[in-house]
Structure 1
Amino acid sequence: MAGLILARAGVDVVVLEKHADFLRDFRGDTVHPSTLNLLDQLGLGAEASAIEHSELSTLDAVIDGIRVRAVDFTSLPAPHRYITLMPQWDLLSMLVTEAQKQPSFRLMLEANAHSVIQENGRVVGVEATTPDGPLRVNAVLTVAADGRTSAVRDSLGLVPADYGVPIDVLWFRVPRPTKPMRDTLANIRGGSALVTIPRPGYFQCGLLIRKGTFPEFQRAGITAFRCKIGSIAPRLTDVTAAISNFTDVKLLSVQINRLHQWSVPGALCIGDAAHAMSPAFGVGINYAIQDAVALANTLVPALRKQGADAAAIDSVCAAVQRRRALPTALMQRMQRVAHRLINSATSRTVVHNPPRLRERFVIAVVLPRIRPILARIVGYGFRPERIASGVLKPRR
């Protein structure tokens, strides 16, 4: 996204992607209203809608048989009163296709950036390995957007502060059952929690487990694993046979961390390289994209006014962190609260079946009043970004 916006603004951009393509499963695919609005602003709304996807206008949880509607996006302004679930590789391919229309954009696949180049205490580019041999890319600004295990960040000597999360997630997929099943984000039953994300033709599922306990599930065997899934979400019992063995199950080690310092002279970290987000509320893609927009909004005017002046570039990096650090910290705090609530829901009874008087009051009176607030925070984030007027060149 950063490369696309900067290229549209006429900035020369090289994007290094270490893989040969974007086809990696079990990664975030939740696109929130804030990102959908940005795609509209870029003139890509129709292209995004053409990608096979699912839409969720509410986020529901079934807790020991009681359905609770936690978030309702229909309270948001039109047109995007929902979150979209689409394969991340399709979203990335769409952005690349659009960016490659710009002469100042270049994507290099199978280019693994492993370290920065420094001269006189300043980052002036990166070194990478490619199938054709070593590659050196010189740059006025190096942007590390290479994820939570960022090699570029490591070479900068930046270490994120970790905010311990007591869970991991086991990701897998199952076909949709023959009998229709209502879209439900979270299923909590018998001390266990299962996320079921509807995608065309199947469910992307995530079983929340205590951190470090995946080997225990493997030792118990795949049959026991299938039975556990069926006990949490009984409607999935008939389709758990699709989980043939543990090669169909991917471990996601959940992290919440962030850098206290996002930049050094000549280089800036954004997205998961600056702040790894938990899967809670599915905001990782959207916060990364908002970082990219904040970078473009700040960098483009500086380049147009002051060119490649080193002090101006470093001022841009500091400004991006000032703008994005607080909303990131607030969302991560909210995620940590959500983890505590989930942990509480899996260790004791939160909602009785049938609900008791106090529980009925919360469901019927309290939740409806906070749903619009939750919809805005989850749907847009604490500081939604828009591409500033004048940043984009007119489309030809």
Structure 2
Amino acid sequence: MERTGCAVVGGGPAGMMLGLLLARAGVQVTVLEKHGDFLRDFRGDTVHASTVRLIDELGLGAGFRRLPQSRLNQVAFPIPGAGLVTVGDFSGLKPPYNYIAMMPQWDFLNFLASEAAREPSFTLLMQHEVTGLVFDGGRVTGVGYRTRGGGADADQGGGPNREGVLHADLVVATDGRHSVLRRAAGLQPKQYPVPFDTWWFKLPRPASEKGAVAGVVPAFGHREAMIALFRDDYYQMGYLAPKGSDARIRAEGIERFRERVARLRPDLADRLDAIRSVDDLHWLDVRLDRLKRWYVDGLLCIGDAAHAMSPAGGVGINLAIQDAVATAAKLAPLLLEGRVTTKDLARVERRRRMPTAVVQDVQRIMHRAIFVPLFAGKTPRPLPVMLLIVRHAPVVGRVLPRVIAFGPLPEHAPAFARRVPAP
């Protein structure tokens, strides 16, 4: 019979961080990831200062800083007649946590996986798609899974299917906003309205445009907006339009979409042939929700499985990682003893519910103040007022960057997971 102490379902940032932390405590932990690798485009790539500090506390700072990345030193918005207004200038924060790191998520996940693999109690099972929960007398006691032989990614075909069951003292769902496990457990989220969806695509970034990232500056148009994230050799572009627009955008065709991009970012009009067809547009159905309860006996949901976040603010990765740290800190000693109760799971939820609610409330305010009027074809009047307050109120200018960089209730690495970095 296959058995582990903790089965972590989903190899995203929360799952990989939780696996590393629990393994450092000596817990037998198995992470199940349905894909054959971490190479998936258009995932959240912002690593905030709270996570960079956590990496340092784990003794991994030197290796982390060697990963390909750029530094976001400030966040700015364009205001008609006022130019760029800086919302968050991180240079005033105490070094070395005075920036937000931007890196491809697959590099970050590979880094966590390689460090976790050093721990003898850690197991990573790629190409293992979890299909449901295993119950015993009303308690979750494991997960069912299927995998493919032949070493191919399950999404691309391969060998014959193999099905199995992994029993565990605790199952932690980190399988995202479309979580199979939270649905199997009957856990229901409260949905909040979101006025927009996002379409991600790539544009070339020639060598002549290399350089440090000064900021992420959105472009606003009539019922549309666009953001650009810099990568080593391309721009990751996000086009924002009213929710429910996907069918219309695709029906209008790629030439019409190129016109939209050129109107919002005329400086990038010379490379729009790189968007070959509407198949190059990756639609994100933006959701904002939060489970009414994050657990049942034997199962805990964290990260997007517990609370799907809007891309506004780029905080999803970091909130998920903070969930993982709190989970490991509170449950690792209990897992070593083989006893985790629903009261213990409730303590994790109580710890993380407040910061989650605060961040989601801020996102909802941003939706109402900026995106609802924007996508209704109106000028978002509160935006210039808010940004001018930031520009002329020194106290706000000092506090806001720290709030953005660290978030509410940032977690620290538990003592059992800390390591002194090698000289």
Fold shared, TM-score > 0.5 on shorter chain:
yes
Q: Secondary structure at the match of 1:373?
A: helix
| Structure 2 partner of 1:67 | 84
TM-score, with normalisation over the residues of structure 2? Answer: 0.86
1:308 to 338, 343, 347: 338
Structure 1 residue 240, shift from structure 2 partner = 1.9
Moved more, 275-284 or 73-82: 73-82
Q: Is the 8 A contact 2:178 2:305 kept in 1?
A: yes
Counterpart Cα distance in 2 of 1:369 and 1:288: 29
Q: CA deviation at 1:252?
A: 0.3
Q: What is the CA–CA distance in structure 2 between the aligned matches of 1:179 and 1:122, rounded to whole Å?
A: 56
Q: Please give the alpha-carbon distance, in whole angstroms, between the structure 2 residues aligned to 1:350 and 1:166.
A: 13
Task: Work out whether residues 183 and 198 of structure 1, in 8 Å CA contact, stay in contact via their aligned partners in 2.
Answer: no
Secondary structure in structure 2 of the residue aligned to 1:276: coil
**1:43 and 2:73 matched:** no
Please show how residues 242-391 of structure 1 align to structure 2 within 5 Å: 242-304=274-336, 307-309=337-339, 312-343=340-371, 344-345=373-374, 347-349=377-379, 362=389, 364-366=391-393, 368-391=394-417
The yes-or-no answer on 1:168 pairing with 2:197 is yes
Deviation string, structure 1 residues 369-388 (Cα, Å, up to 9, x no partner): 42332222221111100012
| Distance of 1:360 and 1:321 partners within structure 2 | 34
Q: TM-score, normalised by structure 1?
A: 0.91
Q: Is the 8 A contact 2:23 2:29 kept in 1?
A: yes
Per the TM alignment, residue 45 of structure 1 is displaced from its structure 2 partner at its CA by: 1.3
Change (3 A) 1:384 1:183: closer
**For 1:127 and 1:283, how far apart are their aligned partners in 2?**
31
CA distance in 2, matches of 1:38, 1:179: 32
Q: Which amino acid aligns with 1:94?
A: F
Q: Which residue of 1 aligns with 2:69?
A: 53
Q: Can you list the C-alpha shifts for 1:131-180, whole angstroms capped at 9, x where unaligned?
A: 25111111111001111111111111111111110110011111236568
Q: Does structure 2 retain, via aligned residues, the 8 Å contact 1:194–1:205?
A: yes
Q: Is structure 2 residue 103 aligned with structure 1 residue 86?
A: yes
- Equivalent pair of 1:295/1:316 in contact (CA under 8 Å): no
Q: Distance in 1 between matches of 2:195 and 2:379?
A: 19
Moved more, 234-243 or 19-28: 234-243
Q: Secondary structure at the match of 1:205?
A: strand
The separation in 2 between residues aligned to 1:231 and 1:222, in whole angstroms, is 14
Q: Which amino acid aligns with 1:153?
A: R
Deviation (angstroms), 1:261 = 0.6
Aligned counterparts of 2:335 and 2:106: Cα–Cα separation in 1: 31
Deviation at 1:101, TM superposition (A): 0.7
Structure 1 segments of 4 or more deviating over 6 A?
179-182, 393-396
Greater shift, 54-63 or 102-111, is seen at 54-63
The equivalences for 1:159-238 within 5 A come to: 159-176=188-205, 183-238=215-270
Gaps of 5+ in 1: none
**Kept in 2: contact 1:165–1:256 (CA 8 A):** yes
- Aligned to 1:386, what secondary structure does the other structure show? coil
Match of 2:177 in 1: 148
Query: Kindly tell me: are residues 329 and 364 of structure 1, through their superposed partners in 2, closer, same or farther at Cα, counting changes over 3 Å?
Result: closer
For 1:182 and 1:61, the matched residues in 2 are separated by 12
User: Shift in Å at residue 190 of structure 1?
Assistant: 3.8
Letter in structure 2 aligned against 1:168: D
What residue identity is the alignment partner of 2:392? V
What is the CA distance between 1:362 and its match in structure 2?
3.7
The answer to whether the Cα contact below 8 Å between 2:58 and 2:419 also exists between their aligned partners in 1 is no
Percentage of pairs with the same residue = 42
Q: Deviations over 1:166-208 (max 9, x none)?
A: 1100111112365689643311134421111112222111111
What letter matches 1:74 in structure 2? S
